Structure 1
Amino acid sequence: MILSEIRDYLQTHKRAALKDMANRFHTEPDALRGMLNKWIAKGRVEKLPQGTPCSGCTQCDPGDIEIYVWKETPRVQ
């Protein structure tokens, strides 16, 4: 998996839980965190605060969910 695949996934889904991305890319969450941290450092991805619900289904413990959001760049006029 490469950084552009993560970018494309987050751009399409707008926000995603780490667990969902790990399943999608068949990779360990720790490895995925490292790649997401590169996007965070570039200012393109934001990790939401712990306990943020993913979609409102309430089946998961919010304390165990890590959600990442792709940050759109503002358009220059």
Structure 2
Amino acid sequence: MILSDIQQFIADNKRASLADLKLHFRMEGDALRAMLNRLIRKGRISKMAEAKKCGGCHSCNEDSTEIYVWVSPDKSAPVEEPVSANCH
């Protein structure tokens, strides 16, 4: 059931960082990555290219820049929105 919950969470939000998923599902990153990779293989989600960090503050967590996006069922490409260039 957790796999469908993850899929629904990303579908509802259009995209989610690994940090968001860890917080929402209260799971370790490695366990989530295994399930996310399964959804990627099924063509349900896509992993965005690694986001560039601002390089100055060192407060961006790696998990917050690892972003997964929902793949629209009627398109082969993910629904992508521009990632903010601003650091948190």
Identify whether the pair has TM-score above 0.5, normalized to the shorter chain: yes
Match of 1:3 in 2: 3
**Matches of residues 1-77 of structure 1 in structure 2 within 5 Å?**
2-51=2-51, 61=60, 64=62, 65-74=65-74
Return structure 1 stretches of 4+ with deviation > 4 angstroms.
Answer: none
- Structure 1 residue 61, shift from structure 2 partner: 3.0
- What residue ranges of structure 2 are gaps of 5+ in the alignment? 76-88
TM-score between the two structures when normalised by the length of structure 1: 0.79
Aligned residues: 70
Question: RMSD in angstroms over aligned alpha carbons?
Answer: 2.3
SS of residue in 1 equivalent to 2:36 = helix
